[in-house]
Structure 1
Amino acid sequence: MNGDTTHAGPRPLNILIAGAGIGGLSAALALRQQGHNIDIFEQSKLSQETGAAIHLASNCNGLLRRMGIFAEDIGGVECTDVMEFLPHNNQMKYHIPAKKLGEKLWAHPWHLVHRAHLHTALREAAIGEKGKGSPARLHLASHVKSVDAANATLTLEDGTVFRGDLLIGADGVHSRTRSIIPGGDLKAFDSGKSAFRFLIPIEALESDPQTAPLVKRSTLVMWIDENRRVIMYPCINNTMLNFVCIHPSEESEADAGEGGWQQTGSKDRMLAIYQHFDSAVRATIEKAEDPKVWKLLDMDKMPSFVHEKLALIGDAAHPFLPHQGQGGGQAIEDAVALAALLPLGTSPEDISQRLGLYNDCRYERAHKIQDFTRTAGKDASELAAEGKKLDMMEYQKYNFGHDAWDFATNKLQTHLSSQDPAARFRTPFGFGHAPGPRRPLGLPSSHKDIQRPRAAKSEESETISVRFKTSRTYLENLLPPGFTFTSPGTLASASISCTTLDGMTWLGGGGYSHCGLYIHGVEYIQRDGGKIYGTYLAVLFENLADPIITGRDELGMPKLFCDIEASVQGDKAMVSLAWRGAQFAQIDIGSLAKPEPPATNGISAPTPAQRAPGPPPPPPEQGQFAYRYVPAVGQPGKTDAEYAVFIPKPEPVAGSPESETLISANATVKFEERDWKALPTLHNVARGLAEVPVYAVDEAKVVRVVGVSDVGSARRIE
């Protein structure tokens, strides 16, 4: 995998995985389904797993099911009950109806499956021709000699070098890749306990009157003594019982090396270790054939699971003791979380940051479950000496109640949003950054594989406006704190302006209308005494909820809903505002015509006349004001936010949008006061608008423009 291929779509990552155990194959399958190219390097010839069973609790079983692996299809047995018996007389200590409890709490079942069957299913799904994505390539008898985390290269003992974008160390408790992590050259050590493992056919136990009463199909059964225990549970369609017999290491002298899983144990020694257990239990384990024994290994906490372009998963990162059956589950969680953080389209340059997210997702959780597991495996005397209590329900709630895919996906979305300066948020916040006019679909630009909507035509607007003279002293009542008029006179200028937008990309090619009262000649005095000049937007009616919400949340504009009807017919234009049939505003314009071009007749422009005595002309307006006001919940009259907003005038640019203008001096503006029965939510605003005096119409016009601003330059003044 040394050469790149050309892809029409997003480029897949080339990923090298050291180790083809359950964690490595889970990673290969999950990353294959994300669309990446995978090479797996396994030092054994057949990639065989040992003859033992494994727990697939809800937290990891759901991840497997998401990837198309269903335990019931490979002989998995759903765990319906958990029972503990006293070891010396086989009396029941407690019984937990696990299935009934799980159906109330967990989204996915708890299965008990033969480890080799799960391994085979994962391998076939990862490297088989069927399924989403390109099949992973499995290299058997491939001993990894060294890895280069900085350059994502892997060298085999025969000298072959493979280059990728990412390395994954899934090479188990005796990992070689682990030493590449700074400070991570750690060795697993004996936990003080060892375990015998073996399988017994259920039929063999049921045919013996002494052992038959112990058989509990679909049930996890335990006999726990002071410093030794026997755990029994079914697998392979309830035809075999898997046994784990944990005891002090010195009593069986198990191997702690790399071949420990395959070490044959002594049945006689095993029976001697459990000589004080009930006779039926001893009769059961006496039926074991070729029991395996090995030391249960633990390891100090790694400083990190990642370094440069290397990520560790499973036992390579965090070896697990078996006391909660979470070792395989946490390896699967690692694999799926890593894949969730690397969707198709992730660039090689993003690898380092994504691995940091992976470490954030997995480091605390894996180590917390490790600590739970250590506590669950302690002898009663050890717990008493340390003052600890065993709360298995607390452990199960934490272990089972997690979805690594959803958790990592949310972590990625939050990260991408933080990297995207255009991403915006508003209520409801939990769904991530929001779509709107200033971020179509609400997606960060890094989502190259997701198509944005395209409008069938250009964005365009048609604005009908009337500018008129009115009372400054009345309009001052509509200005918030910090605003005043630039002119000392009692005459002021305001406009009613109605714009109809169409072809809006962020609305799927549709449009809407808005109509507002704009007060001209306003200045805002900042705390340092500086002044900003512009037009103040007192109220803006809109006939679509989406722009109302985005404008209020993102711009602080005073937006309200009403029905708006606006049209231009020949030389006439009209605007009508109403709420459920109750009209409260009417604007009419007649005699519209194109403005006459300025006459030059070859005569030079006259020299400007000297300014007559009197007040200076008002300063040029710099943009538009609004006022953000957010009331506090449960505290009438108090605010959570209250401040002035300013939208600067855009700088003129070459190739500005084409426009068409019609003008007139013949216009009427009429607002009608309506009571609360007619306008239950708007009567206060309608009354205030009806009281605005219209002394004279200065100008009326219709302007059509191709190209619409998203008003994204709005900013808080102070």
Structure 2
Amino acid sequence: MTDTTPDGTSSEPARPLRILIIGAGIGGFTTALALRQQGHDVQIFESSKLAQDTGAAIHLASNANGLLRRMGLDAGKIGGVECVGVTEYIPQTGAVKYQIDTSQMSKMWQHPWHLVHRAHLHTALKDMATGPEGKGQAAKLHVGSRVQGVDAEGAILTFEDGTSVSGDLLVGADGVHSLARSSIPGGDKKPFDSGKSAFRFLLPTEVLSSDSQTAELVSKIGALVMWIAEDRRLVMYPCVNKTMMNFVAIHPSKESEADITGAGWQETGSKARMLHIYKDFAPSVLAILEKADESKLKVWQLLDMEQMPSFIYEKLAVVGDAAHPFLPHQGQGGGQAIEDGVALAAVLPLGTKPSEVKDRLQIFEECRYERAHRIQGYTRTAGMDTADLAAKGMKLDMMDYMGYNFGHDAWDYTTKALQKHLEAQDKLLQFRNPVEFGASPGPRRPLGMHPTSAKIHTLRKETPEKSRTYSIRFRTSRTYLQNLLPAGFAFTSPATVASASIICTTLDGMAWLGGGGYSMLGLYIHGINYTKRDGSKVFGTYLPVLFENAADPIITGRDELGMPKLFADIDVKENDGDKSSEISLSWRGTTFGTFTVSGLTLEEPVSNGVNGSPPGRRGPSPPPPPPEAGTFYYRYIPSVGEPGKADVEYPVFIPKPEAAEGTEAPKSFASKSATISLQGKDWQSLPTLHHVADWLAAMPMYGVEEAKLVRSTGVSDSSGARRLD
């Protein structure tokens, strides 16, 4: 049985996840690389002897290129060519239809748009995922390993030879004819012919530049060039450091179906049939097609597929073409496979427990499902024949498509989604403005770690939190003080003489403040009770104001606890060891409170007594008041733009904290010699605090009852604060 931490999360030991990937294409290797860099144990199983894409180029738009760069792969260093323009020619005449200079447009995008040979990208990903260099443990590649069965629930792969292997997560990156996706309920989708097929081939750039008929077409190396007719098109762009030009000739499938005997990428095409299909294109286009090497000419069907009901099931996720096969009309097929792999790694940082995998896959799907299918929709629209677009009243908005496609970072997007998920799981996290950055560390959640974590205990042990508290208890007017009490609060005694205390605490060695500390000084009114809606009473001390001299505790205390905190400079000067002290309360040089304590002597605790005094005897005097169980205060948050109105207001109670286990007993010193001097100030000298200073200065003083100094280790974080009613 797995133990749980106080916040309800699993305490299962963290270790690298064992992740099994089916398929060693671009999607598979990207996923392996991203997961390797997260620190996981990754194995890749490829059915062929050497999985490698050949004979074609691929688009790496900003959205995909940025992810590769994040992982350390610079496409420019493997022959990638930056796309600097788009030119469309009229197919029949060869005249320019339009030109776009994307070199200026590229300033919009964080990363360049590269055009790269698929084989070069595939090899680079393979080397980075499986090579000895780089972050994390090298992924292990198993070639000639044909998967026969996928057990999503048990994360088990079974191979044709009868052997099997198990892990914590299965990833199906096995392409358009994926076996893995059939293990997802409703996922036994079969790809179908989209109605279009494509010839593909490469030509040396110099072959085109040396021919007067084609030289003009490659005069601006780096441009994406297109000829788009009613139902067929030719696309050309450079790769391999501008030395090669990649060609994709898309046309109705029925016109080349005789060449296609299988469903793969390596079917040899007929050059004569290709020339016939494009016979009505301009002479410059035909001159290009004539140069194709028929022995290297390939033809394949452009396959489409119905939308998967899900990309995940139990401990299985599918990525790339296994999840969403793409038509080539937006150049996003490879890019979306790259996004899938990186997003999957983003939800599985090192430390993710096997029991958390299924929940993390849900986040992966939420981040990928809608986006992948939306881009698929754009791609289908971009590939429609002119007549079909007109018949359906549809228009292409390529700039809108590009904006959505390029303007996304799957890592940033998914890590934010994971952050929100983890925050929702942790019931002890504290939030306060600015909330955009997520949960805030503070005294009740130091360093962003769980309060019970071993690291926090180690820090507190190495730098123990210490406090010294001076308190001066004095007599004053109950009728004056009661004007401070909100509805529901009252003095327990009817006497017109009440007790209150000025209490000043200086803290040091605070783990949540990097070992530093701060001081606080407040007015505490004794003998208060609060009557709840059910008629029951709670007894305690009321805190109307607490001054502190550091921003962080003021902000956290106001936001997380609702305490009535204000800023002031607090100077504590100790004289003659522990025997006397002088405390001043000021704001930017204006002092409005001075307190002295002298003649302190060590107080010996007496059993059954209170504050070291023997218990009093019962007599004809009134019975003693109920013991004070904690501290009251009132939370008030003003409404923005509506002066005098509150967004929320309610009373709060903090029970007295129990002594922390293992801490030293506090040392207490007592005295009868103490002074309190409070001065009212005008708004010029004390602009933000004069109303408080004036009230304090007018408070009647009937004499000091006692003064104390308590030195202790271990500091309460007030996490017991709770709303009353």
Counterpart in the other structure of 1:583: 591
Counterpart in the other structure of 2:412: 406
Tell me if 1:221 matches 2:228.
no
- Comparing 255-264 and 633-642, the one that deviates more: 255-264
Question: Within 5 A, what are the aligned runs for 1:176-191?
Answer: 176-191=179-194
The offset of 1:74, in angstroms, is 0.3
1:345 and 1:501 map into 2 onto residues whose CA distance is 35
- Comparing 213-222 and 633-642, the one that deviates more: 633-642
Question: Among residues 423, 435, 442, which one is paired with 1:429 in the alignment?
Answer: 435
The offset of 1:656, in angstroms, is 5.9
Counterpart in the other structure of 1:621: 628
- Contact 1:55–1:113 under 8 Å retained in 2: yes
Taking structure 1 as the reference length, what is the TM-score of the superposition?
0.94
Distance 1:86 1:454, change over 3 A: farther
Counterpart in the other structure of 2:346: 340
Question: Among residues 378, 384, 387, which one is paired with 1:378 in the alignment?
Answer: 384
Render the CA deviation track for 1:466-518: whole Å, top value 9, x for unaligned: 11111122222322333232223322221110001111111111111111111
Question: Among residues 649, 655, 664, which one is paired with 2:671 in the alignment?
Answer: 664
Question: Among residues 278, 281, 299, which one is paired with 2:282 in the alignment?
Answer: 278
- Contact 1:441–1:452 under 8 Å retained in 2: no
Counterpart in the other structure of 1:5: none
Tell me if 1:155 matches 2:146.
no
2:715 and 2:452 map into 1 onto residues whose CA distance is 25
Q: Secondary structure at the match of 1:261?
A: coil
Q: Secondary structure at the match of 2:381?
A: helix
Render the CA deviation track for 1:520-578: whole Å, top value 9, x for unaligned: 22222333443322212111111111111110110001111111111333321221111
Question: Within 5 A, what are the aligned runs for 1:134-533?
Answer: 134-215=137-218, 216-253=220-257, 259-290=263-294, 291-443=297-449, 456-533=462-539
1:288 and 1:654 map into 2 onto residues whose CA distance is 82
1:369 and 1:489 map into 2 onto residues whose CA distance is 77
- Comparing 451-460 and 544-553, the one that deviates more: 451-460
2:261 and 2:346 map into 1 onto residues whose CA distance is 34
Tell me if 1:594 matches 2:602.
yes
Q: Secondary structure at the match of 1:712?
A: coil
**In the comparison of the two structures, how many residue pairs are matched?**
704
1:449 and 1:169 map into 2 onto residues whose CA distance is 38
Question: Among residues 695, 720, 723, which one is paired with 1:716 in the alignment?
Answer: 723
RMSD, aligned α-carbons: 2.3
Counterpart in the other structure of 1:48: 52
Q: Secondary structure at the match of 1:260?
A: coil
- 2:149 is aligned with what amino acid? S
- Comparing 561-570 and 646-655, the one that deviates more: 646-655
Q: Secondary structure at the match of 1:554?
A: helix
1:700 and 1:445 map into 2 onto residues whose CA distance is 34
- Contact 1:305–1:363 under 8 Å retained in 2: yes
Render the CA deviation track for 1:42-99: whole Å, top value 9, x for unaligned: 1111112121000001111011001111000000000111122222222322222212
Counterpart in the other structure of 1:647: 654
The offset of 1:654, in angstroms, is 6.4
Tell me if 1:120 matches 2:123.
yes
2:536 and 2:351 map into 1 onto residues whose CA distance is 48
- Contact 2:444–2:451 under 8 Å retained in 1: no
Distance 1:445 1:499, change over 3 A: closer
User: Quick one: percent identity of the two aligned structures?
Assistant: 62
Counterpart in the other structure of 2:693: 686
Q: Secondary structure at the match of 2:200?
A: strand
- Contact 2:259–2:269 under 8 Å retained in 1: no
Distance 1:507 1:97, change over 3 A: same
- Comparing 526-535 and 123-132, the one that deviates more: 526-535
- 1:408 is aligned with what amino acid? T
Question: Among residues 68, 73, 77, which one is paired with 1:73 in the alignment?
Answer: 77
Question: Within 5 A, what are the aligned runs for 1:526-605?
Answer: 526-570=532-576, 571-596=579-604, 598=606
- Contact 2:590–2:686 under 8 Å retained in 1: yes
- 1:108 is aligned with what amino acid? H
Render the CA deviation track for 1:277-318: whole Å, top value 9, x for unaligned: 222122222222232111111111111111111111111111
- 2:425 is aligned with what amino acid? Q
- Contact 2:261–2:267 under 8 Å retained in 1: no
- Contact 1:541–1:560 under 8 Å retained in 2: yes
1:453 and 1:589 map into 2 onto residues whose CA distance is 33
The offset of 1:621, in angstroms, is 2.2
Counterpart in the other structure of 2:10: none
1:609 and 1:218 map into 2 onto residues whose CA distance is 99
Distance 1:204 1:227, change over 3 A: same
The offset of 1:653, in angstroms, is 7.2
- Contact 2:87–2:224 under 8 Å retained in 1: yes
2:104 and 2:156 map into 1 onto residues whose CA distance is 49
Q: Secondary structure at the match of 1:373?
A: helix
The offset of 1:595, in angstroms, is 2.7
- 1:154 is aligned with what amino acid? L
The offset of 1:257, in angstroms, is 7.6
2:621 and 2:524 map into 1 onto residues whose CA distance is 30
1:147 and 1:66 map into 2 onto residues whose CA distance is 32
Distance 1:430 1:598, change over 3 A: closer
2:226 and 2:458 map into 1 onto residues whose CA distance is 56
Render the CA deviation track for 1:134-179: whole Å, top value 9, x for unaligned: 1111111111111211221111111221121111100000000111
1:293 and 1:452 map into 2 onto residues whose CA distance is 65
- Contact 2:606–2:614 under 8 Å retained in 1: no
Taking structure 2 as the reference length, what is the TM-score of the superposition?
0.93
Counterpart in the other structure of 2:9: none
- Contact 2:21–2:28 under 8 Å retained in 1: yes
1:654 and 1:367 map into 2 onto residues whose CA distance is 57
Distance 1:178 1:139, change over 3 A: same
1:10 and 1:326 map into 2 onto residues whose CA distance is 36
Give 5+ residue unaligned stretches, structure 2.
1-12
Question: Among residues 27, 32, 45, which one is paired with 1:23 in the alignment?
Answer: 27
- Comparing 535-544 and 279-288, the one that deviates more: 279-288
- Comparing 474-483 and 451-460, the one that deviates more: 451-460
1:260 and 1:40 map into 2 onto residues whose CA distance is 21
- Comparing 68-77 and 567-576, the one that deviates more: 567-576
Question: Among residues 113, 116, 120, which one is paired with 1:110 in the alignment?
Answer: 113
Q: Secondary structure at the match of 1:552?
A: helix
2:456 and 2:14 map into 1 onto residues whose CA distance is 10
Render the CA deviation track for 1:382-408: whole Å, top value 9, x for unaligned: 222223221111111111111111111
1:146 and 1:26 map into 2 onto residues whose CA distance is 23
Q: Secondary structure at the match of 1:262?
A: coil
Render the CA deviation track for 1:164-198: whole Å, top value 9, x for unaligned: 11111000000001111111111111111111111
The offset of 1:327, in angstroms, is 0.6
Give 5+ residue unaligned stretches, structure 1.
1-8
- Contact 1:99–1:109 under 8 Å retained in 2: no
Q: Secondary structure at the match of 1:668?
A: strand
- Comparing 135-144 and 111-120, the one that deviates more: 135-144
The offset of 1:338, in angstroms, is 0.7
1:598 and 1:328 map into 2 onto residues whose CA distance is 79
- 2:525 is aligned with what amino acid? I
Counterpart in the other structure of 1:3: none
The offset of 1:373, in angstroms, is 1.0
- Contact 1:181–1:306 under 8 Å retained in 2: yes
Q: Secondary structure at the match of 1:625?
A: strand
